[in-house]
């Protein structure tokens, strides 16, 4: 991202939203932190809700793009494809750690905006995940799973350390903003894919019985 005043406003807003909440943060707080004047924020975003909408759109457009990029490797097989999608998402979350945290928390509220986001972005996300899982089940590379319950698990693993970065840092002493985290956590999700999603047990048994 370019470090112009628009970006400075967004970055400052996200940090403040994560500490004081969206309702507890004023336009003046954001202007002070970003070192711009209030009129500047109004010029780019009209008001605080315009800024919020900009955060949502920026996040979800990029997020879906990362899923789509991974989905394009479905011809390499569903396991490879699921790992590719996972890698892209974890990388994207690590690159946008504060924004990710804020968005994931907002998504747990019942509101009109959240409902709209669900019916556009999350329905598309579900489409891609579902296609991959169905392909895996059909080719027997995956176990005969309940697709929706697999999506719950995958999404929980993809979001937890980012949503709960404070817990993860303070209680477990795992630091999501450090470079090793991305590689290490990705390995953990790959273990989940191999151990829970894939039909490894039967593959290994067959190999040993030959």
Binding site residues, a second copy, CB under 8 A:
18-19, 21, 23-24, 101, 104-105, 107-110, 114-115, 118-119, 122-123, 126, 146, 148-149, 151-153, 155-157, 159-161, 163-164, 166-168, 170-174, 184-185, 188, 191-192, 195-196, 200-201, 204-205, 208-209
| 102-107 own/partner pairs: CB under 8 Å, 24+ apart | 102/14, 102/17, 102/18, 102/55, 103/55, 103/56, 103/59, 103/60, 104/159, 104/162, 104/163, 105/163, 106/22, 106/56
Nearest to 154 by CA among 99, 81, 203: 81
| Shortest separation between residue 5's beta carbon and a second copy, angstroms | 26
The nearer residue to a second copy, 69 or 126, going by C-beta atoms, is: 126
SS3 for 99? helix
CA atoms within 13 A on the CB side of 199: 17
Q: Rounded to the nearest 5°, which phi and psi values hold at 142?
A: -105, 160
User: 85 burial class (0-12, 13-18, 19+ CB within 10 angstroms)?
Assistant: buried
What the block records as the tokens of 6 is 């628009």
| Shortest separation between residue 194's beta carbon and a second copy, angstroms | 8
User: Cβ–Cβ contacts within 10 Å for residue 187, how many?
Assistant: 9
| Shortest separation between residue 46's beta carbon and a second copy, angstroms | 21
């Amino acid at each position: 991202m370019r470090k112009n005043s628009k970006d400075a406003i967004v970055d400052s807003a996200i940090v403040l939203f994560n500490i004081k909440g969206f309702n507890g943060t004023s336009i003046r707080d954001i202007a002070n932190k970003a070192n711009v004047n209030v009129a500047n924020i109004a010029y780019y975003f009209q008001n605080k809700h315009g800024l919020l909408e900009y955060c949502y759109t920026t996040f979800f457009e990029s997020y879906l793009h990362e899923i789509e990029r991974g989905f394009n490797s479905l011809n390499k097989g569903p396991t490879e494809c699921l790992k590719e999608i996972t890698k892209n998402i974890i990388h994207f979350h690590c690159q946008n750690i504060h924004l990710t945290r804020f968005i994931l928390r907002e998504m747990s509220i019942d509101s009109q905006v959240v409902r709209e986001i669900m019916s556009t972005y999350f329905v598309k996300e579900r489409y891609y995940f579902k296609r991959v899982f169905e392909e895996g089940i059909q080719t027997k590379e995956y176990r005969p799973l309940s697709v929706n319950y697999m999506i719950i698990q995958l999404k929980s693993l993809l979001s937890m350390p980012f949503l709960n970065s404070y817990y993860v840092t303070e209680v477990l002493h795992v630091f999501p903003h450090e470079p090793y985290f991305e590689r290490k956590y990705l390995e953990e999700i790959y273990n989940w894919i191999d151990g829970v999603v894939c039909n490894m047990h039967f593959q290994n048994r067959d190999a040993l019985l030959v």
